[in-house]
Amino acid sequence: MRCGLTLPKSGNDRFLGGMVRLGMLPGYGLILLVTCLIPTKIVAAAKDPPLRLDQAVAIAIDVNPQVRGARYRWESAEHQIVQNYTPADPQFSYLNSDSWRGFLYGSALHNLTVTQSLQFPGKGLLQGRVAERNAEIARLTYLASVRDVRAQVETAYYQLQLDLALQDLIAENVENLQRVLKVTEIAYTANLATQGDVINAKFALEADQEQLRQQAVTVANDKTALNILLARKPEEPVEVERHFDLGGFESSLDQVIERAASNRQEILEAALAQKNQDTALTLARLEYAPDYTLLFGFDHYLIAPFAPALTHTQDWNFGIGFNLPLFFWAKNEDIKRAGRDLAAAHEDLNAIRLQTAGQVTTLYRQILRARQAALLYRDTLVPLARQAFEVMLIAYQTGKTDFTTLISTFRQLSDARSTYLQDVNQFLAEKVALEQAAGGSLQ
């Protein structure tokens, strides 16, 4: 704390008091009242750091219902494997026979029987392997959901970045048009330009200001879309990093195609489906092999004359049964159907491999072209267009060029920056599509 008439040195310092004055206090006469100066620094409210792309992806994967549902289905499929390896439950039966004195009273025979149904050896093993592959397919479906949600978040994130950049572009256009309007008004005052130049400059300024207001709504909608993917409230504030990642790929086209062929979830699922169809064909052929039923029984004769011998009132039973493939012609149709399903699964696998290779090749070429164009506009054409606008602005003030040339140069700068953003948009969108086609991030 300090006292006196010290003036603030900067606009950030505010002083409470700071005034020396004469005053009268009862009983003390004239005294000098000094107000002390207490500097208070106005500190800007700390803002949350921008949300990084990897943070947004991690949040979405954690809370997205589509991903969570796919994970639960995967876990459900894993719990179905043991049941396919386990035979059917045995059947236990109890018989109380010939109760001539009443219900369960005075019976002549007690019988205990256990029946166990068994498949032909090998069927259960094949069915268990099918269940394991189905669980693996469910896991790949879960990974595909993670991949797709990641792509949705990346798309929303990039869209917000692009619209923010477009908002900055329009804001700069408004600023440049204000400069144009100012020089036209000065030129008109000096009889170096017509009133039409001033009117046209005002019209262009008002149009871009309206475009800026509309762009603010677009940015707000982009933030809402990103918040929804992150399971947040639509109006919750969210900030993203403003710089664009225009880095290229370290992998060659052949490496990306190979990665996609070995990692894309749909290809792996189709390969597992083909194996399942091959197993289904084997199981269809095993329909000729009989399934078994084993029976074990115990009899206790309470009336000795009913027993096989008077001195042996207890005996044991054993039985075996199996099905007969009498309707073999129907089973032949099952085998033919399974064979066609296997051939279809094989063709499906080949088709998705070819489609993936073609899609990856096309996207890879387009990404390289879009990146080259974006870098050209960012590093060469936009700076040249900005330089040309500044030169024409000075030339117009000196009367060396007309308003049409000036406004055309301004539009050239605006179009160059807009084209740069379009190329960036194409690069980022096709990068997301390529990662989807390759089954995951290429970094």
Buried b (16+ CB within 10 A) or exposed e, 311-348: eebeeeeeeeeeeeeeeeeeeeeebeebbebbeebbeb
Instruction: Evaluate if residue 12 carries a pLDDT over 50.
Output: no
Domain membership flag for residue 170: yes
Do 168 and 34 share a domain, yes or no?
A: no
Instruction: Evaluate if residue 18 carries a pLDDT over 70.
Output: no
Do 29 and 157 share a domain, yes or no?
A: no
Do 223 and 347 share a domain, yes or no?
A: yes
Do 20 and 76 share a domain, yes or no?
A: no
Instruction: Evaluate if residue 21 carries a pLDDT over 50.
Output: no
Do 222 and 332 share a domain, yes or no?
A: yes
Distance of alpha carbon 419 from alpha carbon 252, whole angstroms: 27
Residue type, 426: Q
pLDDT, one tens digit per residue, over 295-340 is 999 988 888 887 888 778 888 999 998 887 777 767 788 889 999 9
Are 303 and 385 a contacting pair, CB within 8 Å?
no
The lowest-confidence range among 272-276, 356-360, 435-439 is 435-439
- Domain hosting 26: range is 2-41
Q: Tell me the sheet residues that pair with 316.
A: 298
Q: What is the DSSP letter of 268?
A: H
Q: Tell me the sheet residues that pair with 37.
A: 2
Do 333 and 378 share a domain, yes or no?
A: yes
pLDDT greater at residue 106 or residue 33: 106
> If you average pLDDT over residues 40-56, what whole number do you get?
69
> If you average pLDDT over residues 401-411, what whole number do you get?
93
User: Of all helices (H) and strands (E), which one includes residue 319?
Assistant: strand 314-322
Distance of alpha carbon 249 from alpha carbon 427, whole angstroms: 12
CATH number, position 264: 1.20.1600.10
Query: Which pLDDT band holds residue 30 (cuts at 50, 70, 90)?
Result: very low
Domain membership flag for residue 201: yes
Do 236 and 368 share a domain, yes or no?
A: yes
Domain membership flag for residue 100: no
Q: Tell me the sheet residues that pair with 298.
A: 112, 316
Do 140 and 255 share a domain, yes or no?
A: yes
Instruction: Evaluate if residue 140 carries a pLDDT over 80.
Output: yes
Give the start-end residues of each E strand in 9-108: 13-16, 20-25, 29-34, 36-41, 91-97
Instruction: Evaluate if residue 17 carries a pLDDT over 70.
Output: no
Number of domains in the chain: 2
Q: How open is the CA angle 266-268-271, to the nearest 5 degrees?
A: 110
Distance of alpha carbon 440 from alpha carbon 126, whole angstroms: 32
Do 182 and 216 share a domain, yes or no?
A: yes
Distance of alpha carbon 87 from alpha carbon 118, whole angstroms: 7
Do 7 and 77 share a domain, yes or no?
A: no
pLDDT, one tens digit per residue, over 64-123 is 888 999 999 999 999 989 888 888 889 999 988 878 777 777 788 888 999 988 888 888
Domain membership flag for residue 383: yes
Domain membership flag for residue 306: no
Domain membership flag for residue 301: no
Do 157 and 33 share a domain, yes or no?
A: no
Query: Which pLDDT band holds residue 7 (cuts at 50, 70, 90)?
Result: very low
DSSP-based three-state secondary structure for 5: coil
Are 409 and 386 a contacting pair, CB within 8 Å?
no
Domain membership flag for residue 318: no
Q: CB count, 10 Å around CB of 234?
A: 11
> If you average pLDDT over residues 48-67, what whole number do you get?
91
Domain membership flag for residue 303: no
The pLDDT assigned to 141 comes to: 95
Do 194 and 140 share a domain, yes or no?
A: yes
Instruction: Evaluate if residue 433 carries a pLDDT over 80.
Output: yes
The pLDDT assigned to 47 comes to: 65
Is the pTM higher than 0.85? The answer reads no
